[in-house]
Chains A and B, each alone.
Chain A
Amino acid sequence: QVQLVQSGAEVKKPGTSVKISCKASGYTFTNYIIHWMRQAPGQSLQWMGWINAGSGDTKVSDKFSDRIGFQRDTSANMAYMQLTSLESDDTAIYFCGRGRNSFYSDSWGQGTLVTVSS
């Protein structure tokens, strides 16, 4: 079955970076997009961007355009999201999601809690 497994929780200092991984299984990795979303405590979801696992093409939300990067490793069926210059407002659960296209995610990872605190 389709499964996305994310890396574990992180605690980071302000100004540093975090890199989260998302391992896909149960489907052909390169035929889909990987979306990235986040959810701050008690808040709704926020779309961050996506990477086409096949072509490597990316699209980033304007809100994060200067400090986010997406990568993928097709040999390992892994996708990565790196967020730099972390601030306390970046404290959130980060999710990856599989998308057949850029319009929705039909399967989600379990989420990765990132806590930014001095």
Chain B
Amino acid sequence: QSALIQPASVSGSPGQSLTISCTGSRRDIGSYNFVSWYHQLPGTAPKLLIYEVSQRSSGISTRFSGSKSGDTASLTISGLVTEDEGQYHCCSYAGNRTLIFGGGTRLTVL
């Protein structure tokens, strides 16, 4: 099964909002409300931001929100700050107790 599709990179200015998409199929995102999002800084482990499509993990800012429509999930970051830079990964349950990750998106705050 191929990885979920994410844009390779996105960028925005401080204070702006932006959305990162994650496109799957009926076999994963389209069939289950178990999409999660992770933020990863260089040389560190990923950190859970969002689980079950739209639930924020403990301690995560309300600037981060998740949603889903059909086979595509989205992560929206509002009020961009430089600390938001890094790699963002989406992940979905794919049935049969398996998971699938996206290709990752590099966010740059200009």
A residues in contact (CB < 8 Å) with B: 35, 37, 43-47, 50, 59, 61, 95, 102-111
Chain B residues within 8 Å of A37, by CB:
101
Chain A residues within 8 Å of B57, by CB:
106
Shortest C-beta distance, B56 to chain A (Å), equals 12
B91 touches A95 (CB 8 A): no
A46 touches B98 (CB 8 A): no
Please give me the residue from chain B that is nearest to A37 by CB atom: B101
**Which residue of A47, A61, A109 is within 8 Å of B91 (Cβ)?**
A47
B98 touches A104 (CB 8 A): no
Q: How large is the interface on B (under 10, 10 to 19, 20 to 34, 35 or more residues)?
A: 20 to 34
**Which residue of B48, B97, B98 is within 8 Å of A105 (Cβ)?**
B48
8 A–B contacts from the bound complex (CB under 8 Å): A35-B99, A43-B104, A47-B100, A59-B97, A103-B36, A106-B51, A108-B47, A110-B44
Shortest C-beta distance, A41 to chain B (Å), equals 12
**Which residue of B3, B48, B104 is within 8 Å of A104 (Cβ)?**
B48
In B85-110, which residues have CB < 8 Å from any A CB?
87, 89, 91, 93, 97-104
Please give me the residue from chain A that is nearest to B96 by CB atom: A59
- A45-B38, A47-B101, A95-B45 are known; give 17 further A-B pairs, CB within 8 A: A44-B87, A47-B91, A47-B100, A59-B97, A61-B98, A95-B46, A103-B52, A103-B93, A104-B48, A104-B52, A104-B91, A105-B46, A106-B51, A106-B57, A108-B45, A108-B46, A109-B45
**Which residue of A46, A104, A109 is within 8 Å of B51 (Cβ)?**
A104
With contact pairs A103-B36, A106-B48, A109-B45 given, residues A46 and B101 touching in the complex (Cβ less than 8 Å):
yes
Of residues A45, A46, A102, A107, which shows the largest number of chain B Cβ atoms within 10 Å of its Cβ?
A45
Please give me the residue from chain B that is nearest to A95 by CB atom: B45
Please give me the residue from chain A that is nearest to B52 by CB atom: A103
In B57-93, which residues have CB < 8 Å from any A CB?
57-58, 87, 89, 91, 93
Please give me the residue from chain B that is nearest to A61 by CB atom: B98
Shortest C-beta distance, B106 to chain A (Å), equals 10
**Which residue of B38, B47, B51, B99 is within 8 Å of A102 (Cβ)?**
B99
Pick the 5 closest A-B CB pairs, nearest first: A44-B104, A104-B36, A108-B45, A103-B34, A47-B99
